[in-house]
Amino acid sequence: MAHHIIALIAQYGLLLVFFNVLVEQAGVPVPAVPTMVVAGALSASGKLPLAGIMSAVVLACLLSDLVWYWAGRRFGAGVMRTICRISLSPDSCVKQSELRFQRWRGRILLIAKFVPGLSTVAPPLVGAMGLRAGTFILLDGLGSLLWAGMAVGLGHAFAAQIDDLLADLASAGTVALELLLGLLVLYIAAKWWQRRRLLVALRMARITVDELSESIADGQNPVVVDVRSQAARLLDTRIIPGALLADLDGVDQALQDISRDRELVIYCSCPNEVSAAKAAKLLMAIGYRNVRPLLGGLDAWDAAGYAIERLPSDTAANGEGSLHMTA
């Protein structure tokens, strides 16, 4: 079985490389680097054209990334939340991408493919941020070329060793193929379990949007805290009136003048209120006694028809601070 698959790679290598890269860049957890390395090794022995491999990888990347880019341009923050909702790493998939975007801007596309979890998120993120299509194609194409060059180049450089490995796999037959498939399944299962364990660890009592609205109307004056990142606020300028702006990593500093006995309501716009729950746990650990994430976050508050204000662009970009507004 393995021998036949290796023969198929040699015969239909460019097509296999193209589709493997295409589905991986679309977000399916099927690693493409091993395929590119094998293709690079086959190019060293003349079984596949090197230029053809590189072209197939770059074309697949551009096609998949352009779809995500236009989704980001069209749907903005909504597509980012969708990616985070289906991601196997919901705590970091968008957060880390936003942090890197703040530092790199459009140039993030040059390194995105080398950073786990960033490759799928970067195209819609830069699309939502308004990066021009021509600039996107240029930077994404260069980043894809660098990524392909590294993987294919490794295969080409270590062609002899990879040929020996392929020969061993062919000799091992079906057992080797089943082992590789088993490892892939274990990888996906491990990431799923990591996601589940994170969500269980962050499970705590939430406050509903109706309860928060009643608390504000009754004059209880809870401190409402927006813990979205600066980039998230640039993507989505909505805010609950009167909310304190505090990045997740600096929320304890932003609240240092707030009494430990005050009621705190933390909100974000990520699935399962992951960022809000993390902030709540951190604040409870340093002594705040009444802290709850907002169930459903900013989207639930807006969907319920409660007052929403828009941040000025300079406030959204500059980060922490308070914004006192009227409903």
**Tokens describing residue 177:** 């193929």
CATH code for residues 209-322: 3.40.250.10
Tell me how far apart the 2 most distant CA atoms of the chain are, in Å. 77
Cα 46 from chain centroid? 38
pTM of the model: 0.62
Kindly state the average pLDDT of the residues 166-193.
65
Phi/psi of residue 129, nearest 5 degrees: -80, -5
Element holding 259 (H helix, E strand): none
pLDDT of residue 88: 46
Q: Which segments of the chain belong to CATH 3.40.250.10?
A: 209-322
List pLDDT tens digits, range 256-311: 889 999 999 999 887 677 888 888 989 998 999 899 999 989 999 999 999 999 98
Give the lowest-confidence range in 141-145, 163-167, 293-297: 163-167
Count CB neighbours of 250 within 10 A. Answer: 12
- Average pLDDT of every residue of the chain: 80
What is the Cα–Cα distance from 75 to 171, expressed in whole angstroms?
50
